Structure 1
Amino acid sequence: MSQPFDIAAQPWQRFVFERRERVLYAIIDSGHRMNGVDEPMHEEFARLFTALQRDDASDIVVLTARGRAFCAGGDFDWFQAQVDDPARFRAITWDAKRIVSSLLELEKPLICRLNGAAAGLGASIALLCDVIIADETALIGDPHVKVGLVAGDGGALIWPQLIGYARAKELLMTGEMLTAARAAELGLINYAVPAGELDSRVDDMVARIAANPKWAVRWTKTVTNIPLRALAAQTMDAALGWETASNYLHDRREAVAAAREKRAPRLSGD
């Protein structure tokens, strides 16, 4: 008989795990207050959701983070490395697809406890969760375009499904960050609550879900995600292909340089 699978016994650099009976907290913990995505975090996100599915001691997962932000998008040192060597960007596209597909295939209920800013891939991961409960001071947005990239790693997939194409395209093309209150008003997230109430609201949601028969909940979620999984299968190759292409452009290099140097970009249109 095989040994029970324990996610916390696996090697992780950017995540820690806490158990509360049959509820597992998966906590982003990069050691940096903004939890920017670097190469180790990206690789670990690509195997996280499969590991969460396999974990034998949990029925519900809460995804959250330590630090000031939930996950504030790509780390700019990593961005610069990808600009300098585009092969490094091309090499992550398979993992980028795995992040989205494995998240949508996870049967266990996945609640996002959005403790702070979520941007870019961080926002995509938050929005692909089943229920999103945010600190009302948090910001959320997909500013891929501001750093010269196509929003190819999940943003162009999930935003239109949550708030419609007109609003989604406006926000994806401007890269605007929203307050949690505005995001809840638009239907992008479920709730924006005072910081002091965040844990109690998450606990309440966990209890409401856990009060129902486990397999009815899991398989209801699975059926509900079928259209999203089909849409991801239809679009992610093209989305990541265009994002990879955008990493080669002059304005991508300039946008990253400007952000690192804390100045306005001098865009050429190329």
Structure 2
Amino acid sequence: MASPTRFNLTEHSPTFWRVTFDNPPVNLVDGAFTDELNELFSRAEGEDVSVVVFDSADPEFYLAHYDLSAKDELDHVLAHPEEVHPYTALLTRITKLPFATISSIRGIARGAGSEFLLDTDMRFASREKAVIGQFEIGISAIAGGGPATRLPGLVGRGRTFEILYGGLDMDGARAESYGYVNRSFPDDELDGFVDELASRISSFVLQTIRDIKHFVNVATLRPDAEFKDQMDAFWAAVNRPAQQHVAERLFDAGLQQRGDVERDLPQWVTRFQYSPDSEQD
């Protein structure tokens, strides 16, 4: 595969790979991210990979969220409603990859970033430096990547509503207590634990890993068809005045740039909430 532009690949061994997100300024998810990961997964499926760890080169941002400036993408989605969005397809593919996947979370993982880690097999977080949440209600949109389907099995119905209705962040310790992540660790212990676990998994017979994943998926995965409707609802919201009102003001304030807006997004969205009178501002 060509050299990726959204992440770095480290092949620790033929069975243990690491994907390190590296897409300044804030590690946005976009079409290139999706394409490059699909290409990587196709290569990994043809080799003897047993485990892939996903982490970030930026200690402040794991995956900030989806690139909300993708106007051409919105136009395509609205013109082709029959298509499954590529990011939806990528997320459902992750759940079925024939090897173990681990998110090692340090920094902000909101929106599409949170949705990404929810589709990996295991999630481990820095207690102090992980920031996880679904902020989309604050921009008058549904979370499109399937957390309404993924979260109830992890955190329960009530906490799913709290996460999606509240649109607030949680740190690694709270995420652990809710079941959003497997475990959280003091920041200086996270890498050592994840590396030790991944190395252990990589030493086992690949077919056994594949068999375990198959039977856990049979017991836990929802039908793929559920996810298309959620992503369609997200992009429909992006085309409405309410979302555009908030997004325009957030971009003016510094959205998708390294700064206070991205660091404290759930609080910034409350400054620009939409009402019919807003169109006259």
Q: Is the 8 A contact 1:121 1:155 kept in 2?
A: no
The answer (yes or no) to whether the contact 2:7–2:22 under 8 Å persists in 1 is yes
Match of 1:205 in 2: 197
1:4 aligns with: none
The 5 Å alignment of 1:212-223 reads 212-223=204-215
Q: Does 1:31 align with 2:31?
A: no
Question: In 1, are the aligned partners of 2:105 and 2:124 still within 8 Å (CA)?
Answer: yes
- What amino acid does structure 2 have at the position aligned with 1:107? P
Cα distance, 1:235 vs structure 2:
0.7
Residue 135 of structure 1 and its aligned partner are, at CA, apart by 1.3
Contact 2:85 2:228 in 1 (8 A): no
What CA distance in whole angstroms lies between the structure 2 residues aligned with 1:247 and 1:110? 31
Structure 1 residues 47 and 172: alpha-carbon distance in aligned structure 2, compared to 1, 3 A threshold: farther
Tell me if structure 1 keeps the 8 A contact 2:146–2:231.
no
Give the root-mean-square deviation of aligned CA atoms.
Answer: 2.3
> Which residue of structure 1 lines up, in the alignment, with residue 182 of structure 2?
190
Identity %: 21
SS in 2 for 1:25: strand
In structure 2, what is the equivalent of residue 135 of structure 1?
A: 126
Amino acid at match of 2:275: S
Q: 252, 271, 274: which one pairs with 1:267?
A: 274
Shift of 1:144: 1.5
Give distance in 2, aligned partners of 1:16 and 1:167: 34
Which of 52, 63, 67 does residue 71 from structure 1 map onto? Answer: 63
The equivalences for 1:15-30 within 5 A come to 15-21=7-13, 22-30=15-23
Q: Please, which of 230, 239, 244 is the counterpart of residue 235 of structure 2?
A: 244
CA drift of 1:46 comes to 4.7
Gap change, CA 1:35 and 1:64, over 3 Å in 2:
same
Question: How many angstroms does 1:189 deviate by?
Answer: 0.4
1:87 correspondence with 2:80 = no
Structure 1 distance, partners of 2:199, 2:118, is 21
Q: 1:144 to 1:232 in 2, by over 3 A?
A: farther
Q: Does 1:253 align with 2:236?
A: no
Inter-partner Cα distance in structure 1 for 2:86 and 2:68: 19
Q: Tell me the secondary structure at the aligned position of residue 196 of structure 2.
A: helix
Q: Does residue 122 of structure 1 match 2:113? A: yes
Contact 1:46 1:96 in 2 (8 A): no
Residue type at the aligned position of 1:29: D
Shift in Å at residue 57 of structure 1? 4.9
Distance 1:211 1:41, change over 3 A: closer
Note if contact 2:138-2:273 (Cα within 8 Å) is conserved in structure 1: no
Structure 1 pair 48–207 and aligned structure 2 pair: CA distance change class (3 A): closer
Single out whichever of 122-131 and 240-249 deviates more from structure 2.
240-249
SS in 2 for 1:116: strand
Which residue in 1 is equivalent to 2:92? 101
**TM-aligned CA distance change 1:50 to 1:123, over 3 Å:** farther
**TM-score, normalisation: structure 1:** 0.85
Structure 1: segments with no counterpart, 5+ residues: 1-8
8 Å CA contact 1:148, 1:252 repeated in 2: yes
The 3-state SS of whatever aligns with 2:188 is helix
Asked whether the 8 Å contact 1:139–1:179 carries over to 2, the reply is: yes
Matching residue within 170, 177, 180 for 2:169: 177
Please say which of residues 35-44 and 11-20 is displaced more in the overlay.
35-44
1:61 paired residue among 38, 52, 61:
52
- So what's the TM-score if we normalise by structure 2? 0.82
**Offset at residue 254 of structure 1 (A):** 1.0
Q: Which moved more, 1:34-43 or 1:126-135?
A: 34-43
